[in-house]
Amino acid sequence: MSLIYSSGNLLRVEDMSLFHDAPTGRRTLTVATSLQLERGGSLAIVGESGSGKSLTAKAIAGLLPPGVRLSGSIRLEGEELTGLAERDWQRIRGRRISMLLQDPFTMMNPVMRCGAHIEEMLRDQPEFRSRSARRAEVARRLAEVGINDASVADRLPFQLSGGMCQRVALAAALARDPEILIADEPSTALDVTTQAEIMRLLNRAQAERGMALILITHDLRLAFSACERVCVFYAGQMIEVGAAPALAAAPFHPYTTGLLLSEPPASRRVSTLVAIPGRVPPADAVENECPFSDRCRWVVDAKCRTTRPPLVERTPARFTACVRQPEIQGELDALRTAALEAANEPEPVTPENGALVHVAGLCKSFGGKRPMHALKGVSLSVGRGECLGLVGESGSGKTTLGRCLVGLETPTSGQIVIEGIPSADFEALARNERARVRQTIQMIFQDPYATLNPKHSVGRALEESLRMSQRTGRTQDHVRTLLSEVGLTEAYAGRYPSELSGGERQRVAIARSLAVDPAVLVCDEPVSALDVSVQAQVLNLFKSLMASRELSLLFITHDLAVVRQIADRICVIYLGEIVEEGPCQQVLNDPQHPYTRRLISAIPAPAH
């Protein structure tokens, strides 16, 4: 199969398949991937976790993990890269193909100073043999990515913010002026303004150098706003390819349609986000059928379950792997139209009930002689049955506030009252009051895997929380009820965290918090690490729990599109201070503070 994007021929991948040789036998990881990339072109590869997009990128960069083998062809300007020895890859990697990873803190050596990471890329170039020449070039490279403070070169990675660390990693990736940069989820862990800055830097570097860009991401807004063409991966197969504007306007595959509808719109609130049920299957489990058949509402066994459909050109430069696309395209278009038309809903009404949580003049400082002031006189309240969104960039103080509310941090000064109990200092509370507060307010964290004991089954984790709630009745019945409430079957009680997807782990974390029957949940970036479809599932779950349990939420996030879908009111926090507060739709449609306007302007253009 040939995908002809343009007359350029910088990178050509043909029928590339990836396999893992395990003691139990060969496992198929990806199948028959073919793509081309012209010099200066940009290509986004999108899909859920487990789709094979990152593994494909690593194959192109010669960085496959041990045990993974490749068949097919990868050519860089006619030179075959498949089968190259590592010494040959060393003359290509960095100079011709460079890679920028999702987490700069794992990409960079924690005991090497930031400048040394860039110097490493320069040492074998004659013009940078002297230390002074390398130092000058490091300063120039840092300035190129927006770091004008040359002293950053002497700092260690942990001394920088995530955004600053990603800039240093980008400077190192660009130090040899590569012809192709592969950016694997380069902004996923960053807040919206830092994400926008990193993407501007990438696009500027690409334009100035005539460099080609491969962007790996699950963020559809980012993919469509940053790249000319988009490849959609699913279960190890490319299932749709096309120019970004055309694919965004009229996707040909049901999976692409589902991804686009799962994305929370930043410009309006929808009653229910469209979510794709189920999860991505392993590639070798769907070798003889359409990989999306188990999750597709248009599946027809005779057509979809007899063989894996190939990628076929339906219109010029538009490819899809759906055998039913010609007959269902009208329904796909109608579904998108209906979803967009049904998007407008009445302005949410702020509850008039009394506040369950009341915060007044809260301050929190860290450090000794030169303290860092994380919170500076924050005041807010959360009403019964209300969702209050707390939005701001990394370092704004929003997580510190959440931790103060649940007793994980003790504020320096100020008041916290939870259901009538002064709770600023948990240690000073009487035992019965502390138990009552802990039962009233629970916290859900960004990374559920870090909060679950990997040695404990899901059932045991829930049983431990249920023992604290002192509920009557059989514990197994309560475990079954909790799992059902978060959309999981009782079979999950016997599973361990490592056996669950990210969305399933977060559902278990939510169930564990619900075990004590709380009135308030503090949700700290609970969907930021999830794929867009799983994110939609979890947001819909929060909405249903608020309705069924009359729960109140303090929803902490940097994603304004997400907060619009769930919050009744919004507090915008900047450098430890609340700078704007009001009804969600009012604040996002008519922001008054310059910082709020900056947050909104940084949101990538919608994909639909």
Tens-digit pLDDT profile for residues 364-415: 998 777 888 999 999 999 999 899 999 998 888 999 999 999 999 999 999 9
Closest C-alpha to 262, from 312, 221, 231: 221
Taking only the tens place, the pLDDT of each residue in 269-325 is 887 788 888 888 999 899 889 999 999 999 999 899 999 999 999 999 999 999 999
Write the CATH number of the domain with boundaries 355-456+518-601.
3.40.50.300
Mean pLDDT of 463-473: 76
What is the pLDDT, as a whole number, of residue 352?
A: 47
Closest C-alpha to 167, from 136, 209, 195, 128: 195
User: pLDDT exceeding 70 applies to what percent of the chain?
Assistant: 94
pLDDT above 80 (res 191): no
- Rounded to two decimals, the pTM is 0.85
Q: How far apart are CA 225 and CA 263, in angstroms?
A: 14
Contacting residues for 398 by C-beta, under 8 A, at least 6 apart: 390, 391, 392, 524, 556, 573
pLDDT above 80 (res 418): yes
DSSP string, 229-261: EEEEEETTEEEEEEEHHHHHHS-SSHHHHHHHH
pLDDT category at 471 given cuts 50, 70, 90 is low
pLDDT category at 342 given cuts 50, 70, 90 is low
Mean pLDDT of 113-120: 90
Closest C-alpha to 184, from 21, 325, 51: 51
What is the pLDDT, as a whole number, of residue 606?
A: 60
What is the pLDDT, as a whole number, of residue 534?
A: 85
| Unique residue bearing structure tokens 């260690």 | 156
pLDDT category at 351 given cuts 50, 70, 90 is very low
Where are the domains positioned within the chain? 262-341, 355-456+518-601
Q: How far apart are CA 581 and CA 562, in angstroms?
A: 17
* Number of other CB atoms surrounding residue 334 within 10 Å: 11
The whole-chain average pLDDT of the chain stands at 88
| Unique residue bearing structure tokens 């003049």 | 361
pLDDT above 60 (res 1): no
Q: Can you state the angle between helices 458-469 and 431-440, rounded to 10 degrees?
A: 130
Mean pLDDT of 137-163: 87
Closest C-alpha to 241, from 312, 330, 331: 312
Contact 539, 271 (CB under 8 A): no
243, burial (CB in 10 Å: exposed 0-12, middle 13-18, buried 19+): middle
CA distances from 59 to 62, 193, 425 (A): 5, 31, 53
Q: How far apart are CA 434 and CA 19, in angstroms?
A: 54
| Unique residue bearing structure tokens 């302007």 | 601
pLDDT category at 346 given cuts 50, 70, 90 is very low
> Among 157-161, 278-282, 503-507, 512-516, which is the least confidently predicted range?
157-161
What is the pLDDT, as a whole number, of residue 608?
A: 53
Closest C-alpha to 332, from 297, 369, 381: 297
